[in-house]
Structure 1
């Protein structure tokens, strides 16, 4: 580590590697770091030792050290305490290795896309100081090594044997919080305010319109609260299945939200209503490979009584309004007329409808003319039961924002819709589509932060193809490579030639000058090429000088390089 002989270089590396860690420290430790830097400058080792011990004592509880995150921060605090004490002395081995230790801790604590970018910057800074002592142009040399090494790193990464992982429970974990999904639908709720917490991310092969993600199925309403019923469905027919990657954040339950209709998963198990569950509560980001069918026919193997049951003591006005539809024997026509009546009520979709009696949900929605998705779904399901159309309420998430098939689902995307049984097949109906108007606050809830969305998209791709590049993905890549071998070979050859030409072009000027120096003598290190050649007062050298500066600082062509080469050869011969 000879490049760290200068304490100033050590200070720079310490600053760069410690900077992200500073923001993760407790308040007392932050204050100690700021004061400790000043005390280290004043060589107050004893005072640093006392204040550092006090800061660590007040920042950490010994019983909290079993938490890995707290334990790492504790180790970082001990390290910065030791570094500040060592910094009052001369250069030593401990100071030399400290930047690398800080670098390692920062990777452990921070696991987001911003830290990935910063890590690349850190590596370049370390590389720069590694070559600084051995190169007259360390910045250029570092950039060359850094750029030329990237293709090699990529190739080694793609082809090096991977360690197989059956399930993926790792990835970027910062900026996540536990999001909740309720297994209960309560229509007595007078308002709803969902947080902007991420629930899951998924990547489909291409973009689609609205996507519904199943979470729970309810058959019967009791006192305004929907309850589940035991049932089992059978998939009769479907179009081409879609396989995709899903990343679900920690939740308060075990539901794995697959795109409607999920049929297969490499993790968890499926119930009779095609809803997947994890065996344990999801406490950390879960990566799952799922297969769904977007167009399908689903048939009930047996129908619970709750699919047609409703409390006849409530929704009297709705029963009076809808009973005439029973004269229509064709169930499709009956459903069509029910939708027309529902639309005719001109109900507004809002998050703040006020107090609503969930037991009389249909009458309440039709009279107050406002409600949110739970009220729409509940009212339509009860109305369908009144006209003897079996129905059930499904809750989960609905999302339409996507980029190249990538979607990010937030808690605010929670949704409820209805499935009605027509000709022995379940048919999805979203009653919010029948809303007369959607209020501004609802529209705003579905707006997305474009910057956050695109950053999440990049992060998801990095997790998918870098952090979780395993044996299966490598086999998939090799299969793709085999199918496009000649295209890949041509592309690879092009990049090899491009790198060679680029490297050759950078070195050509230096090689030509070295040839010239053999004739003129060595150039003093602190003197520019321009001044060195100008001092000879030679017209031919002046021409070489002007051409060299043009090539170095302005636009140049291949003919300029050839001309410079010819002029130097002629000068050497003469």
Structure 2
């Protein structure tokens, strides 16, 4: 095997290769959860090999080998993601090619291409999310990538992190920030993104589902993530009235409650006899990947792009894969609007699985024999929960087999889903139509809006009362009034397991959510409608081509002026040698004290005048003049750097000495 030969003329320095590799890493990092499982290994191997080559100055990898590696990687992409040319595979290909490009990046031309690709890679992350923390990270990535441009432009072999280079990078980006804001506000917006709406980035996300079994809701008790935010048009209802209706569960197999998927949208709008408790509000729902929308019991009508089912579930026409805003109006009452039930529906809502929970069925038949009215049956069941040592627990014992019998007659300890399930089975066993409703209960007032968390997940029951409608019954309220009156946060404070459950940590989370709410309102939700409103406030017609042309023309003019100014400043700074910059500081020292140098005065003439006016620093001025003239004609870079430092120190000494004598 032939030994690897070293390169005679190495184009990219180790410092430049370091920053190029870092730019690729920060650009690719937020994509890793969506990329194939082998991608992190590929990234590590490519970056490590190029970094080793840069340090050891090894010969470039043969082009044929790069081609073979690329072909194998393409085959791996096809194997893991298929052949369909969709957004996911396109982003995977772009990201992979950016990493593989490092293998043939040996010249500045290739390095420039890699940096440009990095900008595109971080932009593609917005296809999936525009969350505030992600934007902060991507802005930091832009700083790293832009700094890489400066390192490539100025081949400086000094330390890897130079203050001057960082200042130049930040200066350029800060100069561009006003332009970015102007383009964000005024650039014509599309009603629908070219690549479609951002996808729900749901790895590891929990939330309300279409099924309920023992433990399915209690596992959300310590989930402090946001479910949705609500802004009320007026007063906010009491916490005990905040029942946010979600999936309605009809069918029970002895362990799991399931939604009725055969329902269609209702064509009859709810009619309430009493509309005194009417509340209007706007909901900002976090992505769930499902169709369910949440609204207060009971909603008057469905918002746009949604439908109201016969059981008063609110359903979106599309999956909630991005932040969803909708407005709703609800009437807060325990009874739903009265709609007669068919015999088929009654039979379905009173059915129980055969052979399960015989103790519960036997108990309810005994109660039935007492000729109790529906209201009396309900009150008797609630009274039993209150007086017979039932406990509300966020970590109840595991149940199996006859889960309701075990809960009612053995463990007597459960979360809201245990009580809702058992109570609904009891009502059905007594011949009353009943169903389980899941959703959220309560919320926290946070900076003017109501914050509803996943920990507020809740389940309750509805019982059909003839000639009146569906009656909401929350058996949890009978066992733990604190949960309904003060919310899940009150229980969490009592049952804090660790610092994640502590009040200060939750308060910090609420502050952060307030920032996210503002971000969502002013940035993520800046739509075509809001842009039109802004144009109208400024006196422009968003539909008029002339108005748009004027606005865009002004933005382009400002952009051109700023770019020319930046290029001029950069060229002037680049034209001045280090000793010339120090000479400018020397001139400013005397200018601040009344001695101004004219254009026709050279260094020697000006130094003579300064020595006469400030004789106390004449020796320092003479030394400065001699050093400056020596630097102008020095041919050795090392000597120049040493003299530059000495020259700079002399200026500081002259300024200090003059100040001392003047004082």
- Note whether the superposition's TM-score is higher than 0.5: yes
Which of 288, 297, 303 is the equivalent residue of 1:249?
288
Deviation readout 1:515-566 (Å, 9 max, x if unpaired): 45626967967567663264489746965xx9xxxxxxxxxxxxxxxxxxxx
CA distance in 2, matches of 1:464, 1:536: 53
**Aligned: 1:32 with 2:46:** yes
Residue 417 of structure 1: how far off its partner (Å) = 0.8
**What secondary structure is seen at the aligned counterpart in 1 of 2:363?**
helix
Match of 2:472 in 1: 428
**What per-residue deviation string (whole Å, max 9, x for no partner) do you get for residues 138-194 of structure 1?**
65565556446545543553344433349996347546357586544457x899756
Distance in 1, Cα, partners of 2:270 & 2:178: 50
Q: Is the 8 A contact 1:214 1:259 kept in 2?
A: yes
Q: 1:183 touches 1:216 (CA, 8 Å); kept in 2?
A: yes
Distance in 1, Cα, partners of 2:164 & 2:596: 18
Given candidates 289, 294, 305, the residue that maps to 2:346 is 305
Alignment length (residue pairs): 502
Equivalent in 278, 283, 293 of residue 330 of structure 2:
293
Preserved contact between residue 249 and residue 284 of structure 1 (Cα < 8 Å):
yes
* More off after superposition, 16-25 vs 242-251: 16-25
When residues 150 and 453 of structure 1 are mapped into structure 2, their CA distance, relative to the original with a 3 A threshold, is same
Q: Under a length normalisation based on structure 2, what TM-score does the superposition of the two structures give?
A: 0.60
The one of 523, 527, 531 equivalent to 2:650 is: 531
Larger Rg: 2
Cα drift, residue 415 of structure 1: 3.5
Deviation at 1:461, TM superposition (A): 4.4
Matched, 1:214 2:245: yes
How far apart are the structure 2 equivalents of 1:104 and 1:166? 17
Written as runs of structure 1 = structure 2, the 5 A alignment for 1:229-244 is 234-236=270-272, 237=275, 238-244=277-283
Tell me, in whole angstroms, the C-alpha distance in 2 between the residues paired with 1:394 and 1:167.
Answer: 39
Mapping of residues 366-515 of structure 1, within 5 Å: 366-384=409-427, 391-398=434-441, 400=443, 403-404=446-447, 405=449, 407=451, 409-410=453-454, 414-421=457-464, 424-435=468-479, 447=501, 450=506, 458-459=515-516, 461-475=518-532, 515=591
SS at match of 2:337: strand
User: Cα offset for 1:291?
Assistant: 1.9
Quickly say closer, same or farther: Cα 1:185–1:167, change in 2 above 3 A: farther
2:65 paired residue number: 50
Equivalent of 1:267 in 276, 301, 305: 305
Q: Larger deviation: 450-459 or 28-37?
A: 450-459
Q: Which has the higher strand share?
A: 1
Q: Which 5+ residue runs of structure 2 have no aligned equivalent?
A: 1-10, 33-38, 155-162, 484-490, 540-583, 604-623, 629-643
What is the Cα deviation at residue 46 of structure 1?
Answer: 2.8
**Residue 272 of structure 1: SS of its match in structure 2?**
coil
Partner Cα separation in structure 1 for residue 590 and residue 140 of structure 2: 33
CA displacement at 1:309 relative to structure 2: 3.3
Alignment of structure 1 residues 296-375 onto 2, 5 Å? 296=333, 298-303=336-341, 304-306=345-347, 309=350, 315-316=360-361, 318-319=363-364, 322-323=367-368, 326=371, 335-350=378-393, 351-355=395-399, 358=402, 361=404, 364-375=407-418
1:38 Cα offset (Å): 0.8
RMSD of the alignment, in Å?
A: 5.1
Q: What is the alpha-carbon distance in structure 1 between the residues aligned to residue 230 and residue 433 of structure 2?
A: 32
Asked if the contact 2:295–2:330 (Cα under 8 Å) also holds between the matched residues in 1, the reply is no
CA separation of 1:46 and 1:261: change in aligned 2, threshold 3 A: same
* TM-score in terms of structure 1 length: 0.68
